[in-house]
Structure 1
Amino acid sequence: MIRTFFIALTAAAVLLSQSAVAAGDPVRGKAKSAACAACHNVDGNSQMPIYPRLAGQNADYLVHALSSYQNGRRKNEIMKGMAAALSAQDIQDLAAYFSAQNGLIAKR
Structure 2
Amino acid sequence: MKNFVIAAVSGALLVISGHGIAANIEAGKKKAAEVCAACHGPDGNSPAPAFPKIAGQHASYVEKSLNEYKSGARKDPIMAGMAAALSKEDIENLAAYFATQSGLKTKY
TM-score (norm: length of structure 2): 0.79
Query: Letter of the aligned partner of 2:23 in structure 1?
Result: G
User: How far apart are 1:25 and its partner, in Å?
Assistant: 1.4
Quote the offset at 1:85 in angstroms.
1.2
CA distance in 2, matches of 1:44, 1:31: 13
- Higher Cα radius of gyration: 1
Cα RMSD after superposing both structures: 1.9
Instruction: Say if 1:29 and 1:16 are closer, same or farther in 2 by CA, change over 3 A.
Output: closer
The one-letter amino acid paired with 2:58 is N
Amino acid at match of 1:77: P
What is the aligned residue count? 95
Match of residue 9 from structure 1: none
Alignment of 1:33 onto 2:29 = no
TM superposition score normalised by structure 1:
0.79
Choose 15-24 or 49-58, whichever is displaced more: 15-24
Percent identity, please: 51
Distance of 1:102 and 1:28 partners within structure 2: 18
Q: Which runs of 5+ in 2 are unaligned?
A: 1-11
Q: Secondary structure of the residue that 1:74 maps to in structure 2?
A: coil
Shift of 1:106: 4.3
Gaps of at least 5 residues in structure 1 are: 1-13
